[in-house]
Amino acid sequence: MEKTDQRKELKVSAIENGTVIDHIPVQSVYQVLRILNLMEYNDQLLIGINLESQKMGKKGIIKVSNKFFKSDEINKIALVAPSATLILIKNFSVSEKKQVEIPAKVEKIVKCFNPNCITNVEEVVTRFDVVNKDELKLRCHYCEKITAKDNMAFK
């Protein structure tokens, strides 16, 4: 009896190896899937939306089998879901847990919103300084215009 009380029932089943992206704001789950190209993922992918969370009320979760994200991908997650936690799973157990963090500089992954910016005309690797982490404002290193959360697109 005691044992079942202790064992929390999983709403989304466990994965053997891979990454769990936890604490995603509910409205950002599809965007996270999109920016990580997970729509076309060939291995097991488990998605939970509107799950109860003590921390956030409701949350989303994505479990990706046999996938460990690179820093560029983690930065993308941080930009669309700054509250997310990454949990690395090896052999059904947690090998590492970390909070994503918005970096001071963002390279390569974001498109400048300004259609007249040289980075949208020629092949130029985009570079931004994060000038405001809370409201998420990125200043383009080239055209110096601000790309904000509501007009942010990813490369």
Question: Does the footprint of other proteins cover residue 111 (CB under 8 A)?
Answer: no
What's the token pair of residue 17?
């190896």
Query: Is the Cβ of residue 54 or residue 116 nearer to other proteins in the bound state?
Result: 116
Q: Supply the minimum distance, in Å, between the C-beta of residue 80 and other proteins.
A: 23
Near other proteins by CB under 8 A, which window of 51-59, 66-74, 91-99, 111-119?
111-119
Q: Using an 8 Å Cβ cutoff, are 69 and 36 in contact?
A: yes
With contact defined as beta carbons under 8 Å apart, do 101 and 83 qualify? no
The DSSP result for 38-84, as a single string, is GGG--S-EEEEEEEEETTTEEEEEEEEET----HHHHHHHHHH-TT-
Could you say which of 19, 31, 119, 147 contacts other proteins (CB under 8 A)?
A: 119
Residue 24 engages other proteins in binding (rule: CB under 8 A): no
Binding residues vs other proteins (CB under 8 A): 112, 114, 116-119, 121-124, 140-146
